[in-house]
Amino acid sequence: MSGPVSAPLDVVATIEVRPGRADAVVEIVTQHLETIRAEEGCLRYDLYRVRRDDDTLVMVEQWATKDALRAHGEADHFRAMSAQLAGELAAAPVVRVLEPAVRFAT
């Protein structure tokens, strides 16, 4: 008998950029999207702009397992992207791993 099946992990990262640097951050992330989206267990990795707040971006992610999310954070290409982003950010990203309070049937 196999163990319990875990639901995918939903992750939201709020990214505050230095004033006027959102386009540079989008460009850096775009350079790495194909590689990140090809990672085992990556179900979603999308970057959004916040309306009426030019200096805030939000990354919405979904990972198949905790191990996939952990591997993403340890991947060389993710570390390289993070290093490129470091000078563009006003603060460290606020990363939240979500768990559903209510699930809706689809």
Kindly report, residue by residue over 18-60, the tens digit of the pLDDT. Answer: 999 999 999 999 999 999 999 999 999 999 999 999 999 999 9
pLDDT at 5 over 60: no
Residue 56 pairs in a beta bridge with 16
Domain boundaries, the chain: 19-98
Q: Kindly report the CATH number that applies to the domain delimited by 19-98.
A: 3.30.70.100
Instruction: Using only the alpha carbons of the chain, give its radius of gyration.
Output: 15
Token pair 């386009």 in the structure block, residue:
23
Token pair 């009426």 in the structure block, residue:
52
